[in-house]
Each structure stands twice: as structure tokens, then as C-alpha cells.
A and B are shown apart, each in its own frame.
Chain A
Amino acid sequence: MAEFEPKIVAFVCNWCTYAGADLTGTSRIKYASNVRIIRFPCTGRIDYMLLIKAFDEGADGIIVSGCHPNDCHYTSGNFHARRRWIMFRSLCNFTGIDTERIKFSWVSAAEGARWADIVNATVSEIREKGPYTEYHKVSRHAEKEVNHG
């Protein structure tokens, strides 16, 4: 049986992390190919619903990454994002969502090697944990009856 390969979705900002990931490529650094990168103008644009949707659609892990504080291309987008992530992560943790599967990072356009490290570390951690079946097996299309004793 094929070994489990996690599906990771990465929500990244265009000016820093996306450019950083680009640098990883042009530097010919090999890294895990499990990541699907989604490009945003800024981390401030990342809506909570998108992260929930990622798990909903089958992701086993999520990476959210943007510019370092004070380096945001739009000055303060990442500050807003940071505040949101603090509250969102706590709410997710409170409802029992496995927040270890959501990784947040600041990766600049110059940090090509670091992006590769973060992705590799995340992929191997999620591979250890296994697929996020807890979330995926929750009844979604009325297959299972609501049942109480």
C-alpha cells in the first residue's frame, strides 16, 4: 500500500512568501511537493472561511505565511492578520480542531531556503500524524443520521 502523502494547502502573500518560494525554486532547492500554494496580495486578505474550507475539501495540513511584522507591502496587513490568527487559532483549538495541523509563519522574499525548511518540516510532521480523518469523516452530505441515545 502506498505510504500516506499529506495534502497541504499554503495560503501565502504575494510580496514576501510567494516571492520567497519562487527564490527556493530558482535556487534549485528541492523540497516536498505536497504543498499547493495559493497566492494572496497580502495575509490581511486571508479569510478564516478559506482555512476552514481547506480542511473541508480534504487538506490534511495548512500553512499560512506572509511578510515579517513591519515589512508588510501594505504596511499593516500582516498586523491585522496576526490578530485574526490569534483569535481564530484559539477558537479552533477550543472546538477540538487539531491546530497542530495549521502552521503560521513569516517568510520573506529572501528566505528561499527557509521556506523549503518550513514546508519539509510541516510535511514530515503531518505525515507522522496521518490524514486528518477526524475532520474528513464528519458527516457532510447527509450520509449519516443525526443520532443520539
Chain B
Amino acid sequence: MNIDKRLVRKDSLEKLFDILKQNSKKIYAPVTKNGKTTFRDTASFSLISTGYIQTTESSKDIAFPRTEKLLDYSKNKEGMSVKGIDLKDIPEVILWGIRPCDAIGIGELGSIFNWDYKDEIYNNRSSKVTVFGFSCNKSDEYCFCTSVGGNPGNTEGSDILFTRMGEDGDYIAEILTEKGQAVAEIASGIFERLETADKEKFLADVPVKFNHNEISEKLDKFFESKEWVDQSLRCLGCGACAYVCPTCACFDIEDEAHGKNGSRVRCWDSCGFSHFTVHTSGHNPRDVQSARWRQRIMHKFSYMPERLSVYGCTGCGRCSRACPVDMNILEHLISIQEVTV
């Protein structure tokens, strides 16, 4: 489908929100609590946060919830009865306000849920999301999308991409997919004719900081390096980086049992936790933090590109911002690039 470039006036954004709400659309938008921005089901335009360079949490919650019930079970005289979730109950949603890096992340995350086993539940949730991306007018020292093949105005992954023309300007709206087209048709008056506009000049400047191909190649020979120990000494082994990351997909499945009944639940997990790889025997192949840090980097920059042909990192910088001990992933990658093997 050809990209349909339109103009959306800055005051029309609220009208667009209201029209979509009137059409019973669920809208997940960034809202702020305690100074941190996360995506929530938002009832009113006035609650949406603006002015953030990047949200604290990613929007992966929308297709890969932090806690998700997979089934209920019940033991009775006849045996076990199991009731799975009904995919029809999963609602359609509009994801409002994600950055182009996050939009690419949706595809990267999806590849993990489809490589050997097609995760029906994930795919169903994901297919019901319409993505409203918002290009970046600003970036900060944590951003590095351009180093991993992205850019602040990238259209990949969005259904409609909005680019603001300056701090207080109107928006260029690029309607990129049929899904985007369907939504635009509900609010056709909002999407006006656009005289020519150069999107590029309104985008943030994000200088390339490292060569990702070089890094991927180097990592092949880097497994036994002492660098991993030096880099990970201050890492506390919490799950903050994995949880805020748009492409981290590790999960734990557990049964919450109450006597004869219970539910099987899938929750987020992190390869950084010390018990992540503990076997039932008690053996732990990754029993030091350096092995776990190495896993994180290798998975994102070596194993995923090699096996799934996508990167495991979008350069959004959230992990570095959220980390309580400043494990700055950009800094670590640059240092890997600079170290001689």
C-alpha cells in the first residue's frame, strides 16, 4: 500500500482521540505516575503524557502482558477439566504514542513468539493492535536507534506515524497500512490534505555510536572474554532492564493452585535473575552475574541476528535509564567494539 501523507492539526489530536473513544475503541496511551511514564488504558485525552523523550516502560505489555492467565483447571471425580482463555475475548486496541524504536521492537518481539512454535495467544493480541507511532523531535544520551538500524522517523511497525512539525506545530500523519487506513476512515475529517512537508528536518539528531555488524561479528569470538566480568561487577541481578525492554520475551509459567482448582499463569521473567537457569537438580549453568550479563548481550546482538535474522535491541535506551546501577548498554557495546579480542 502506498503511504498516504496527511496533515493533522495539533488541536485535532484530541478530537481524534474522542472520535475513537466514541467508537468504543480502547486506547493505550502513556500516562505518568510518580514521575514514571507507562502505557495504560486511557479514558481521557487530558491524561496523556507528552514531552517525554521515551516512556519508562515499553508497550510490550499490550501483546505480552506482565501476567497472563493461560488456562483454568479443576480436578473432580471424572478427572481434570481444563478451560483455556477465549481468544475472542481479547479486545482490539489502539496503541497511542510509541516511538519508532518501539514500533520496530514489535516485530522483533513477535519473531521470538513465532520462531519454532507459533504463539497463538501472543499473535492474537498483537494482531488486534493498531499502532500510532510518534516520531522523535528530541533524543537524549541514552538513545541509539541509529546504531541498530533504526531512525527517529522510521515508519516500520507503525500503522500511522505522526511527526510533529516543530515544538508547537501540526503533525504530518503517514497512513502506512490498511489497519491505519481503517482507523483514519473513522475520523476522516481529521486527516486533511498535506501540502509538501519535509519530515526529516523535524527529526531528532541521533548520531551513530557503534557499528552493529562489527559487534555481532566480534561477539562470536568474545564468549570467554574477561570483559564480561569487568562490565557486570556492579550489576545487582534485578529484572528492571528485561522488564522495561520492548524486545525481551523471557517468561515463567506457573500454576497457582488452590486445592482442587487453579490457573496456569505466564509472567515476565529475566535472564538476569540468579535463579533463572537453576535446574531441578540444583545445578546452575549461569551461576555468576557475568555469565548472565553475557547472555543478555549475546542474545540480543548475536543469537537473535544469527537465528531469527532480527536484532534483539531497538536502541530505545530504557534499560540504561531504568537500571539502578547505571549499566549503560550503549557504553558497554562501545567498549566491546573497542576491546581487542
C-beta contact mask, B260-271 vs A, less than 8 Å → 1, else 0? 000101000000
B257 shortest CB reach to chain A, Å:
11
Task: Kindly report which residue of chain B lies nearest to residue A145, judged by CB atoms.
Answer: B41
Q: Is B47 close to A, CB under 8 A? A: yes
B265/A142 in contact, CB under 8 A = yes
Residue B67, interface by CB 8 Å: yes
Question: Across the interface, do B265 and A149 meet the contact criterion of CB distance under 8 Å?
Answer: no
Q: A148-B31, A148-B33 are in contact. Are A142 and B40 (CB under 8 A)?
A: no
Q: Is B258 an interface residue (CB 8 A)?
A: yes
Contact in complex: B265, A141 (CB < 8 Å): yes
Bound-complex Cα distance A143 to B65 (A): 11
CB-contact partner of B68 in A142, A148, A149, under 8 A: A142
Q: Is the CB of B256 within 8 A of A149?
A: no
The size of the chain B interface, using a CB distance under 8 A, is 18
Closest to A139 in B: B67
A149 and B47 contact, Cβ closer than 8 Å, known pairs A141-B263, A141-B265, A142-B265: yes
B31–A149 CB distance below 8 A: yes
Tally of A-B Cβ pairs under 8 angstroms = 29
B69 sits at the interface (CB 8 A): yes
Contacts of B31 in A (CB 8 A): 148-149
What is the distance, in angstroms, from A137's C-beta to the closest C-beta of chain B? 15
Chain B residues, CB < 8 A from A3: none
Q: How far is the CB of A127 from chain B (nearest CB, A)?
A: 24
Q: Which residues of B contact A142 (CB under 8 A)?
A: 65, 67-69, 263, 265
Q: B68: nearest residue on chain A (CB-CB)?
A: A142
**A55 nearest CB across to chain B (Å):** 13
Contact between A143 and B69 (Cβ–Cβ < 8 Å)? yes
Question: Given A57-B258, A141-B256, A141-B263, do A149 and B65 touch, yes or no (CB 8 Å)?
Answer: no
Say yes or no for A147: interface residue by CB 8 A criterion.
yes
Instruction: State the Cβ distance, A52 to closest chain B Cβ, in Å.
Output: 15
Q: Which residues of B contact A146 (CB under 8 A)?
A: 40, 66
CB distance from B215 to the nearest CB of A (A): 36
Residues of A within 8 A of B33 (CB): 148
**Given the contacts A57-B258, A141-B265, A142-B265, A148 and B69 also touching, CB distance less than 8 Å:** no
In the bound complex, residues from chain B placing their C-beta under 8 Å from that of A147 are 40-41
Q: Which of B62-90 contact A (CB under 8 A)?
A: 65-69
Per-position 1/0 for B96-111, Cβ under 8 A of A: 0000000000000000
How many Å from the CB of B87 to the closest CB on chain A? 16
A57 CB contacts on chain B under 8 angstroms = 258
Binding site for B on A (CB under 8 A): 57, 140-143, 145-149
B interface, CB within 8 angstroms of A: 31, 33, 38, 40-44, 47, 65-69, 256, 258, 263, 265
- Complex A-B: 27 CB contacts under 8 Å: A57-B258, A140-B256, A141-B69, A141-B256, A141-B263, A141-B265, A142-B65, A142-B67, A142-B68, A142-B69, A142-B263, A142-B265, A143-B69, A145-B41, A146-B40, A146-B66, A147-B40, A147-B41, A148-B31, A148-B38, A148-B40, A149-B31, A149-B40, A149-B42, A149-B43, A149-B44, A149-B47
